[in-house]
């Protein structure tokens, strides 16, 4: 197989640090080996630090971030439950789709693409639907480059006695995320974004309140693989014997453990600051060249920037040229922004001033 070295500046995956690749290549051991169980426990503790939580049920699902989304809803919702879903991009729309498949009644708070969740609209919706059991939203909407106010959304939801489900796929380890302080009940993410890990894993955490809600279910979870009541017996640490659930991706979890170690070593606060500085530098470089950012400054998501494609510029031609001539991957627009925007990711190890200059230079030169 030919080895191709790409410079990954799209919406994920991002370039992976060498120490994570080395961890991935360590000899495989059994998924019930005592040493692997120790690594699972260590990974869980590091993940708690990164989520800023003490939730006992904090672990890594053996599939991409989408499984985190699905696991959140199939466990918390039963047929006929009412949930309020805030939609301001592609991934809010996916939330709605999964909720509908559970048989839940979905009340949608629609928001303009490129804008954050409207907390006033959420407040009004919950006043009109006092029987809602949960509120779901995307903290960092990867399709639009928007960060919503998770703290305020959660406060409003909790004031109406709703569980809070947050998609943090592109925010974990990239922007401020305080699971316990903000009282978020279920939060999931992905390995391939700001953690700079290999794709295919979904960190997730459940509050004690969420776990109690799941234990009171009247019907079985419709997905066997995502059933948290079964997964708990494998992932929860302690003196009890672990129960086999599935063959965990051992080497990928080696990589995740190392990725989390790097985050803890740097500190979350330093990592958040680094992502913000790199993004601000990118905005400055691109705006100085006459390019327009789509999202207003106060709502921009540092790890992922949406840049409006200038009139008359061929989207696929520019991205194709960068990939072929410079080995640089940029992301195209999704949904309403397809063909209208580029998505530029500065995530994980790529969130530096030098890397921001690297991708800015390439794009500006390619447009000349």
Say if residue 216's pLDDT is above 80: yes
Q: Is residue 2 part of a domain?
A: no
Say if residue 240's pLDDT is above 70: no
Domain containing residue 171: CATH number? 3.40.640.10
Among residues 264, 292, 315, which one ends one of the domains?
264
pLDDT of 293 = 98
Percent of the chain at pLDDT > 70 equals: 98
Say if residue 274's pLDDT is above 80: yes
pLDDT of 234 = 76
Among residues 264, 281, 300, which one ends one of the domains?
264
pLDDT of 247 = 87
290-347 pLDDT, tens digit per residue, is 999 999 999 999 999 999 999 999 999 999 999 999 999 999 999 999 999 999 999 9
Same domain, 206 and 342: no
pLDDT of 244 = 78
Residue entry with tokens 């999202």: 295
Pairwise CA distance, residues 152 & 198, whole Å: 32
Domain containing residue 352: CATH number? 3.90.1150.10
pLDDT of 342 = 98
Same domain, 67 and 145: yes
Same domain, 257 and 282: no
Q: Is residue 254 part of a domain?
A: yes
pLDDT of 153 = 98
Q: Is residue 246 part of a domain?
A: yes
Contact 171, 147 (CB under 8 A): yes
Q: What DSSP letter does each residue of 43-94 carry, written as one string?
A: HHHHHHHHHT---SEEEEESS-HHHHHHHHHHHH--TT-EEEEEESSHHHHH
Instruction: Please count the structural domains in the chain.
Output: 2
Say if residue 237's pLDDT is above 60: no
Among residues 220, 249, 264, which one ends one of the domains?
264
Q: Is residue 30 part of a domain?
A: yes
Average pLDDT over residues 152-167: 98
Backbone phi, psi, residue 347, to 5°: -125, 145
Same domain, 290 and 335: yes
54-112 pLDDT, tens digit per residue, is 999 999 999 999 999 999 999 999 999 999 999 999 999 999 999 999 999 999 999 99
Q: Which of 331, 323, 322, 339 is nearest to 303 (CA)?
A: 331
Q: Which of 257, 235, 227 is nearest to 31 (CA)?
A: 235
Same domain, 273 and 167: no
- Which residues form the domain of 315? 7-13+268-367
pLDDT of 1 = 62
User: Is the whole-model pTM more than 0.85?
Assistant: yes
Name 330's Cβ contacts closer than 8 Å, sequence gap at least 6.
9, 10, 318, 319, 322, 342, 343, 344, 359, 363
Same domain, 84 and 146: yes
Q: Is residue 168 part of a domain?
A: yes
pLDDT of 241 = 65
Same domain, 72 and 215: yes
Q: Is residue 206 part of a domain?
A: yes
Higher pLDDT, 140 or 34: 140
Same domain, 195 and 318: no
Q: What DSSP letter does each residue of 216-268 carry, written as one string?
A: T-SS--S-STT-HHHHHHHH--SSSPPPP-S---HHHHHHHHHHHHHHHHH-H
Q: How many CB atoms lie within 10 A of CB 353?
A: 15
Residue 168, both tokens = 């943090």
Contact 293, 307 (CB under 8 A): yes
Same domain, 232 and 298: no
Say if residue 263's pLDDT is above 90: yes
Higher pLDDT, 239 or 271: 271
- Using pLDDT thresholds of 50, 70 and 90, give the confidence band for residue 159: very high
Same domain, 301 and 317: yes
pLDDT of 246 = 87
Same domain, 64 and 160: yes
Q: Is residue 274 part of a domain?
A: yes
Q: Is residue 1 part of a domain?
A: no
Same domain, 125 and 139: yes
What residue spans of the chain are helical by DSSP H? 18-24, 34-51, 65-76, 90-101, 119-128, 150-159, 179-182, 208-215, 228-235, 250-266, 268-288, 315-326, 353-367
pLDDT of 245 = 84
Average pLDDT, the chain: 95
């Amino acid at each position: 197989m030919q080895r191709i070295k790409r410079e990954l500046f799209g919406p994920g995956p991002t370039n992976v640090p060498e120490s994570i690749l080395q961890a991935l290549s360590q000899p495989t051991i059994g998924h019930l080996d005592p040493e692997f169980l120790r690594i699972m426990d260590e990974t869980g503790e590091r993940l708690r630090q990164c989520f800023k939580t003490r939730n006992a049920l904090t672990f890594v699902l053996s599939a991409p971030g989408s499984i985190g989304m699905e696991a959140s809803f199939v466990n918390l919702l039963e047929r006929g439950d009412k949930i309020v879903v805030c939609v301001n991009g592609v991934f809010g729309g996916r939330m709605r789709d999964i909720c509908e498949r559970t048989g839940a009644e979905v009340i949608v708070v629609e928001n303009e693409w490129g804008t954050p969740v409207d907390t006033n609209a959420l407040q009004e919706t919950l006043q009109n639907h006092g029987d809602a059991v949960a509120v779901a939203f995307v903290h960092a909407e990867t399709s639009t480059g928007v960060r919503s106010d998770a703290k305020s959304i959660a406060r409003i939801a909790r004031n109406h006695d709703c569980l809070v489900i947050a998609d943090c796929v592109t925010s974990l380890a990239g922007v401020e995320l305080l699971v316990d302080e903000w009282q978020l009940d279920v939060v999931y993410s992905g390995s391939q974004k700001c953690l700079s890990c290999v794709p295919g894993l979904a960190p997730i955490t459940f509050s004690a309140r969420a776990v109690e809600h799941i234990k009171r279910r009247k019907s079985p979870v419709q997905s066997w693989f995502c059933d948290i009541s079964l997964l708990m017996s494998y992932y929860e640490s302690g003196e009890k014997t672990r129960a086999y659930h599935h063959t965990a991706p051992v080497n990928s979890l080696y990589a995740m453990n190392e990725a989390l170690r790097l985050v803890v070593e740097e500190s979350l606060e330093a990592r958040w600051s680094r992502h913000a500085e790199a993004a601000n530098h990118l905005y400055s470089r691109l705006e100085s060249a006459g390019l327009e950012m789509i999202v207003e400054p106060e709502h921009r998501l540092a790890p992922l920037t949406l840049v409006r494609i200038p009139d008359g510029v061929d989207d696929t031609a520019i991205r194709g040229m960068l990939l072929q001539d410079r080995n640089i991957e940029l992301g195209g627009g999704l949904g309403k922004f397809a063909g209208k925007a580029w998505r530029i990711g500065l995530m994980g190890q790529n969130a530096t001033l030098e890397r921001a200059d690297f991708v800015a230079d390439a794009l500006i030169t390619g447009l000349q």
